[in-house]
Structure 1
C-alpha cells in the first residue's frame, strides 16, 4: 500500500465550511471525488481540488511506475482550525465592532 498526503495551510475560509465539503469526499475514489468537487457550488471546492491534485502528484512521485487513478482512494480528509485574523469595523457614535476572519488547514491523505 502506497500512501501520500498534502496539506494546505492558512486558507482563508472557515473550517466548518471546509469540513462540510471534505465529509462528502472522504472514503471515495479519486475520480469520483474530483467530479463531485467540480460540481459543488462552494468556494472551498476550488482549494480542495488543488490539495487533492497535489496529494495525487505526491503519490505519483513516490512510486516508480504509473499510478492507476481508478484505484486511488481518499482515506483521510479533514480541516483543522487555523489562526483567526482579528479586524475592527467602525460603527456609529465612536464604537468599534470586532470582525473575526477564520483560517483553516486542509489535510488530504490518499492510498493506492
Structure 2
C-alpha cells in the first residue's frame, strides 16, 4: 500500500510600501542586507544601518510581521525574510536652469519596496 506524503504549503505574508521617495538603486543596497535572514536579525541590521532608507525598509518589515501575526496567526520569532525586493516607481521630472538660457532635466525617482516573510523551515 503506497502512502502519499502531504506537504503543507508554507504561508508567505507580504507588505508593500509604494511611492517611497528614494531611488531604487539606493534602496536595493539596504534590502540586499536582510534577504533570507531571521526577522530578529533583520531588525538589528536595519537598526544599525547608516542609510536613510533603512527606516522605510524597517517600517515595511514591521508591517509584514504584523500581517503574519494578526492575519495568519504566525509567531514572529519563527519568521524569516523569504524575499525582499525593490521595484521602480514613477519618476518625477523636474527642470533645472542652466547656462545660456538652457535647461537640464532632474529625475526624482521613486520606489516600491516589498518584503515577504515566511515561517522558518525545519530541516
Is the Cα contact below 8 Å between 2:69 and 2:75 reproduced in 1?
Answer: no
Q: Can you give the 5+ residue segments of structure 2 that lack an aligned partner in the other structure?
A: 1-9
Q: Which string of whole-angstrom CA distances, capped at 9 and with x for unpartnered residues, describes residues 20-79 of structure 1?
A: 111110000001000000101001100000000000111111234xx4322110000000
Q: TM-score with structure 2 length normalisation? A: 0.85
Aligned residue pairs total 110
Aligned to 1:17: 26
Q: Which gives a bigger RCO, structure 1 or 2 (Cα 8 Å, sep 6+)?
A: 1
Where in structure 1 do 4 or more consecutive aligned residues deviate above 4 Å? none
Aligned to 1:86: 93
Q: TM-score with structure 1 length normalisation? A: 0.93
Q: Can you give the 5+ residue segments of structure 1 that lack an aligned partner in the other structure?
A: none
CA RMSD, 1 decimal:
1.1
Aligned to 2:4: none
- Structure of greater Rg: 2
